[in-house]
Amino acid sequence: MMNSFRLKQIDQLQNKHISLEDDVVTTCATLEACAQKLLEIKGVKVSIITIAVA
């Protein structure tokens, strides 16, 4: 999943708290890749919400 995501309009995300949601987490690779990209933005906080772990 590394380098699979690209962000646009980064200035609109600065200093935001972003929630990533996934119904079932298996390897966590997708959520981790998304969160890592978001955390590169100044002042961003990331929360992860899931219903189940497989």
Q: Looking at the domain assignment, is residue 16 inside a domain?
A: yes
pLDDT for residue 1 is more than 70: no
User: How far from 2 is each of 20, 32, 53, CA to CA, in Å?
Assistant: 17, 9, 21
Q: Looking at the domain assignment, is residue 3 inside a domain?
A: no
Structural domain including 46 reads 10-53
Structural domains counted in the chain: 1
Determine the pLDDT at residue 38. Answer: 94
Q: Looking at the domain assignment, is residue 2 inside a domain?
A: no
pLDDT digits 0-9 by tens, 12-53:
999 999 999 999 999 988 899 999 999 999 999 999 999 998
pLDDT for residue 2 is more than 80: no
Q: Looking at the domain assignment, is residue 4 inside a domain?
A: no
Half-sphere exposure of 24 (CA within 13 A, CB side): 2
- Beta strand segments in the chain, E: 17-25, 45-53
Determine the pLDDT at residue 52. Answer: 92
Q: Looking at the domain assignment, is residue 5 inside a domain?
A: no
Determine the pLDDT at residue 6. Answer: 81
Where is pLDDT greater, at 1 or 29?
29
